[in-house]
């Protein structure tokens, strides 16, 4: 009788171990999964352009990104220059977040400006949505990374004096600026609108006198479905008019205030680093393009990581 109980208990332990092992293996990734990134940057006076990309990888995978290739252009990770008096004897994994079976890691890539397929100062834009990645263990992969736009020419920053900029990990951001000359704004828009337009809600607010002069009949406000999750925060209320309403053109005098208030879908899994686009004409009917830059990262949970992996294995990387 005792022997039968012993063997029964041992069988339960073995089956439990097998079940745990099968589950563990089912959670392992064949390849790292890169998040979706929506980035804008431009060629400046610096010799390199730095872009940070985030990816999920197995905890047991100790390899790092060695280099990437995009349209024949190679980019390498930024090398740490911190001085260490004593060499480390153990390899401690570096990561942004830790989950049950995975790490969220990041790599900051340096692109040499002189090697880019666009000429500085021109109207060209270099766009890419994939990285051909080589890891330190020799593994290679083609990673869907969202979309990156690199402008050969910097936007017009001198037309607005950005005075106040604030943001929060509660997924809101606000920018307040003052015009430095008379302007006519033809459009305020979200970049990558087709891909992420539903994840951002933006309102514009102007001087009281300017708002009063607008030939615009206030409509019933239609908020995104995810906006309800922000109602309980102290900053959910937005002043102004949605930028998608027919309020253009907007005529502003020198010294007029313009405020952009933005809310972001708290459930999204993509990374934003781009400029809200403000375009129109300045003095002498000169066209201008201004970028109100924002940085907004997602709040990943174990559930959202599971959803990313499920979507990726199902053939839908979004």
Name the token pair of 285. Answer: 């009917």
Q: How does strand 140-151 pair with strand 160-168?
A: unpaired
| Rounded CA separation 22/298 (Å) | 30
pLDDT score recorded for residue 180 = 95
- Across the range 115-132, mean pLDDT stands at 94
Q: Is the pLDDT of residue 251 over 90?
A: yes
| Rounded CA separation 45/49 (Å) | 10
pLDDT score recorded for residue 236 = 52
Sign (positive/negative) of CA torsion 307, 311, 313, 317?
Answer: negative
pLDDT in tens, 268-292: 999 999 999 999 999 888 999 999 9
pLDDT score recorded for residue 89 = 46
Q: Is the pLDDT of residue 24 over 70?
A: no
pLDDT score recorded for residue 116 = 94
The region of weakest confidence among 22-26, 100-104, 191-195 is: 22-26
| Rounded CA separation 63/134 (Å) | 10
pLDDT in tens, 58-105: 999 889 999 999 999 999 998 765 444 454 444 667 889 999 999 999
Q: Is the pLDDT of residue 16 over 60?
A: no
SS (H, E, C) 285-306: HCEEEEEEEEEECCCCCHHHHH
Is 180:161 a contact under the CB 8 Å cutoff? yes
The region of weakest confidence among 66-70, 107-111, 145-149, 307-311 is: 307-311
Q: Could you tell me the pTM of the whole model?
A: 0.86
Q: Report percent pLDDT > 70 for the chain.
A: 81
| Rounded CA separation 71/131 (Å) | 9
Q: What distance separates the 2 farthest-apart alpha carbons in the chain?
A: 99
Rounded to 5 degrees, φ, ψ at 94 are -100, 125
pLDDT score recorded for residue 22 = 47
Q: What residue ranges do the domains of the chain occupy?
A: 33-77+94-152, 160-296
Tell me the β-bridge partners of 275: 293
| Rounded CA separation 261/165 (Å) | 10
- The mean pLDDT value of the chain amounts to 85
Pick the CATH number of 33-77+94-152 from 1.20.120, 2.60.40, 1.10.20, 1.10.10: 2.60.40
């Amino acid at each position: 009788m005792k022997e039968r109980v012993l063997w029964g208990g041992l069988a339960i332990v073995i089956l439990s171990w097998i079940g745990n092992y099968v589950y563990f293996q089912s959670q392992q990734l064949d390849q790292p999964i890169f998040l979706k990134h929506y980035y804008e940057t431009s060629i400046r006076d610096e010799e390199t352009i730095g872009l940070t990309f985030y990816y999920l990888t197995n905890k047991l995978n100790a390899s790092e990104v060695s280099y990437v290739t995009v349209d024949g252009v190679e980019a390498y990770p930024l090398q740490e220059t911190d001085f260490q008096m004593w060499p480390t004897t153990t390899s401690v994994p570096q990561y942004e977040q830790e989950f049950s079976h995975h790490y969220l890691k990041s790599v900051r890539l340096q692109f040499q400006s002189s090697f880019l397929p666009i000429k500085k100062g021109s109207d060209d834009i270099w766009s890419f949505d994939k990285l051909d990645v080589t890891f330190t263990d020799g593994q290679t992969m083609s990673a869907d990374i969202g979309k990156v736009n690199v402008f050969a020419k910097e936007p017009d920053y001198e037309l607005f004096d950005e005075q106040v900029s604030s943001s929060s990990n509660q997924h809101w951001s606000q920018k307040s600026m003052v015009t430095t000359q008379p302007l006519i704004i033809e459009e305020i828009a979200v970049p990558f609108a087709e891909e992420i337009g539903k994840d951002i809600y933006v309102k514009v607010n102007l001087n009281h006198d300017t708002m009063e002069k607008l030939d615009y009949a206030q409509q019933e406000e239609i908020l995104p479905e995810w906006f309800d999750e922000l109602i309980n925060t102290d900053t959910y209320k937005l002043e102004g008019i949605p930028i998608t309403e027919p309020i253009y053109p907007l005529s502003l005098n020198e010294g007029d205030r313009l405020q952009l208030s933005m809310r972001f879908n708290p459930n999204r899994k993509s990374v934003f680093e781009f400029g809200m686009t403000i375009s129109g004409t300045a003095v002498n009917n000169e066209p201008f393009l201004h970028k109100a830059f924002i940085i907004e990262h997602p709040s990943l949970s174990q559930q959202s990581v599971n959803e990313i992996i499920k979507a990726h294995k199902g053939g839908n990387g979004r």
